[in-house]
Amino acid sequence: MRIHCMQQSIPSSCMLNSSAIIRRQQFLIRALGGCCSHQTHHQFRMQSMFSGSGLGADAVQPKKGIEADACGILRLITPPLDPTRYKGQAGDKAMQDNSCMLNSSAIARRQQFLIRALGGYYHNQTHHQLRMQSMISGSGLEDDDLGNLRSITRPLDPTRYMGHTGKIAVIGGCREYTGAPYFSAISALRIGADLSHVFCTKDAAPIIKGYSPELIVHPVLEESYSVREEDKKSISERVVAEVEKWMERFDCLVVGPGLGRDPFLLDCVSNIIKHARHSSIPIVIDADGLFLVTNSLDLVSGYPLAILTPNINEYKRLVQSVLNCEVNDHDAPGQLLSLAKRIGGVTILRKGKSDLISDGNKVMSVSMYGSPRRCGGQGDILSGRQVILNFLCKPSTERKGVLFNESQCSLFSINLESFIRDSVAVFVSWAHQYISSAKEELGRNPTVLGCIAGSALVRKAASLTFENKRRSTLTGDIIECLGRSLEEICPVSCVHRSLLDQ
Ligand SMILES: NC(=O)C1=CN([C@@H]2O[C@H](COP(=O)(O)OP(=O)(O)OC[C@H]3O[C@@H](n4cnc5c(N)ncnc54)[C@H](OP(=O)(O)O)[C@@H]3O)[C@@H](O)[C@H]2O)[C@@H](O)CC1
Ligand SMILES: Nc1ncnc2c1ncn2[C@@H]1O[C@H](COP(=O)(O)OP(=O)(O)OP(=O)(O)O)[C@@H](O)[C@H]1O
């Protein structure tokens, strides 16, 4: 049977002969499943390749044992795409649970990898497959919900001019990290911001410019290695002045993607944050920006326009520093609420399998969509998107430091329906209402709504990308999917039609 299937998979073209080139072509076609459109045959062929019969009948027999071992090892060492894992974590959660001695340190991760590679790896195939299926299918958008969303989405208004839909600035990018600020800045453009600036070090600037001509790149930041001790004060003042002269134009800052941890550079960035705060500009703080504010909480404490977007490591550091305890996953919402409250009502988006969001008054969670692939940079997309979403749900007057009150503390689990009614619908309609009138008072904290919308959209884009790219999903691929993701939720054509009908 297996042999029959493999023979079928070889193109029937008689022109093909057994030269090395043709053999490689046949192998490639076979491996990619391109010669047999029938799904069952393709699946069967893929299975038989993994069980070691990927070669022709003659070749299989003598090599079968070797093939089977190679494929077995491949399966053993390939980590499952487990939604409970986070970026950079090579260990398997199930195995960690069974092994209390192992923690998430680099050494432990390497140990886990080794144990797995040597065959000690636990894998419940059926459960894993089921989980994958449910993740991939996500919470599909219902037609009615889409209709609701479309009818309330703000149109791309032809009367607006460049800059109206948002000007953002990313403070980040150093010798080591050039990708992160790029991801963040380009994502903001992809979702609808009109201008995206990056303030980075001199080393990083030409590289970031090289990634995209769309970005406005300012090579103003300095790291210790390029500054003499006696020049530090004057250079610091110059750096802050360079950013300051642009500051008023920005609707939001993202501080941290690819910033690094150089003390002199972080010192300058502290001053930039102080200036932004003084000008009541919303600040999204991510990555190394979180490292900075965790050690200097005063920078954001009590500032309602600060949004912290910690990943698992950053959150742990924040909890330890602010609450003086360890992360409590049994009462994650309660702990997040206390944390946001303790930092004086900043909004915190705790990224993870479910994203939890709190401003110290309320906790909300977004668990729809998502991808099991944790490639570096997804958080940068989120921070970039966050900016524009926060901008969209805020009229210009609101950007000047108005406080938003929420009387009740409760936990909302956002499924698609409530997401649409309670957040996207509300924030988009608020945006529409407010940008045109800017008179009403907002009933909810727009930074929270911006977080919810940003989280949902980036998770949807990741999920769409994963459908195509599977394990090879990269952050750049997700960025490519941002437009489609947004379009599936708020199709432009539909929105335009309603504009023309008015
Ligand atoms: N393509 C790109 O350009 C991308 C660039 N990226 C950029 O990478 C930067 C770090 O972000 P990340 O997410 O890897 O750091 P995170 O999870 O907090 O820590 C993981 C572990 O690393 C360690 N550690 C980190 N930095 C350290 C330092 N300077 N020196 C020493 N230790 C350091 C850290 O140690 P700990 O702080 O816990 O002591 C923890 O154990 C950030 O700027 C981000 O934007 C990403 O956005 C991905 C795409
Ligand atoms: N287990 C998971 N399942 C589904 N989505 C997740 C999971 N973990 C994180 N995400 C989503 O991925 C995005 C990025 O989160 P992540 O924790 O990877 O950030 P990060 O580590 O800061 O990223 P970066 O690599 O940019 O530093 C968020 O939108 C979050 O919702």
* Nearest-angstrom CA–CA distance, 270 and 256: 11
Question: What is the third-level CATH fold of 151-378+413-489?
Answer: UDP-N-acetylmuramoyl-L-alanine:D-glutamate ligase (3.40.1190)
Q: How far is the CA of 239 from the centre of ligand 1 (A)?
A: 24
Q: What ipTM was assigned to the predicted interfaces of this complex?
A: 0.94
- Per-residue model confidence (pLDDT) at position 126: 31
Q: Where are the domains of the chain?
A: 151-378+413-489
Q: Is 387 helix (H, G, I), strand (E, B) or coil?
A: helix
**Among 467, 466, 447, 443, CA closest to 455:** 447
- Per-residue model confidence (pLDDT) at position 271: 97
Rounded to whole angstroms, what are the CA distances from 5 to 2, 8, 54, 474? 5, 5, 10, 34
What is the bridge-based pairing of β-strands 216-221 and 195-201? parallel
Instruction: Answer whether 262 contacts ligand 1 (Cβ < 6 A).
Output: no
- Per-residue model confidence (pLDDT) at position 252: 84
Q: List the residue whose alpha carbon is closest to atom 19 of ligand 1.
A: 313
Helix 143-152 vs helix 425-436: crossing angle, to nearest 10: 10
Residue in the structure block whose two tokens are 């953002």: 168
- Per-residue model confidence (pLDDT) at position 319: 98
* Nearest-angstrom CA–CA distance, 188 and 458: 11
CB of 389 closer than 8 Å to CB of 450? yes
Q: How far is the CA of 352 from the centre of ligand 2 (A)?
A: 6
What is the bridge-based pairing of β-strands 355-358 and 363-366? antiparallel
Considering the entire predicted model, what is its pTM?
A: 0.73
Cβ-based neighbour number of residue 209 at 10 Å: 17
Q: How far is the CA of 311 from the centre of ligand 2 (A)?
A: 7
What is the bridge-based pairing of β-strands 216-221 and 252-255? unpaired
Could you tell me the maximum CA-CA distance found in the chain, to the nearest angstrom? 80
Q: List the residue whose alpha carbon is closest to atom 30 of ligand 2.
A: 351
* Nearest-angstrom CA–CA distance, 181 and 475: 12
Sign of the alpha-carbon torsion through 300, 301, 303, 305: positive
Q: Residue 469 has which token pair?
A: 């790219």
CB of 322 closer than 8 Å to CB of 297? yes
| Residue 171: strand pairing partners | 199, 255
Cβ-based neighbour number of residue 162 at 10 Å: 8
Q: How far is the CA of 12 from the centre of ligand 2 (A)?
A: 46
* Nearest-angstrom CA–CA distance, 413 and 409: 13
Q: Which of 110, 308, 313 to mutate to test the pocket of ligand 1 (most atoms within 8 A of CB)?
A: 313
* Nearest-angstrom CA–CA distance, 156 and 159: 9
- Per-residue model confidence (pLDDT) at position 305: 87
- Per-residue model confidence (pLDDT) at position 315: 98
Q: Is 43 helix (H, G, I), strand (E, B) or coil?
A: helix
- Per-residue model confidence (pLDDT) at position 26: 55
* Nearest-angstrom CA–CA distance, 48 and 73: 16
* Nearest-angstrom CA–CA distance, 64 and 49: 11
CB of 351 closer than 8 Å to CB of 458? no
* Nearest-angstrom CA–CA distance, 486 and 495: 12
* Nearest-angstrom CA–CA distance, 394 and 403: 12
**Residue 420: CB partners within 8 Å, gap ≥ 6?**
145, 148, 149
Blockwise average pLDDT, block size 10, the chain, 502 residues: 38 46 53 40 36 34 44 49 63 40 50 44 31 32 33 57 77 96 90 89 97 97 94 96 92 92 97 94 92 97 92 96 96 96 95 91 85 88 64 42 31 34 30 39 64 82 94 94 81 54 48
Instruction: Answer whether 446 contacts ligand 2 (Cβ < 6 A).
Output: no
Rounded to whole angstroms, what are the CA distances from 218 to 170, 206, 227, 247, 348? 10, 10, 18, 13, 28
* Nearest-angstrom CA–CA distance, 268 and 241: 10
* Nearest-angstrom CA–CA distance, 109 and 88: 9
- Per-residue model confidence (pLDDT) at position 285: 93
Shortest-distance ligand to the CA of residue 292? 1
Instruction: Answer whether 93 contacts ligand 2 (Cβ < 6 A).
Output: no
* Nearest-angstrom CA–CA distance, 270 and 146: 43
CB of 123 closer than 8 Å to CB of 467? no
- Per-residue model confidence (pLDDT) at position 166: 75
Residue in the structure block whose two tokens are 């393709």: 42
Q: Residue 195 has which token pair?
A: 């201008």
- Per-residue model confidence (pLDDT) at position 389: 56
Q: List the residue whose alpha carbon is closest to atom 21 of ligand 2.
A: 311
* Nearest-angstrom CA–CA distance, 39 and 318: 49
Q: H or E element: which one contains 93?
A: helix 93-98
Instruction: Answer whether 182 contacts ligand 1 (Cβ < 6 A).
Output: no
- Per-residue model confidence (pLDDT) at position 19: 59
Instruction: Answer whether 179 contacts ligand 1 (Cβ < 6 A).
Output: yes
Which residues are documented as binding site for ATP? Answer: 351-355, 370-379
CB of 447 closer than 8 Å to CB of 353? no
* Nearest-angstrom CA–CA distance, 93 and 99: 10
Q: How far apart are the first and last CA of the chain?
A: 64
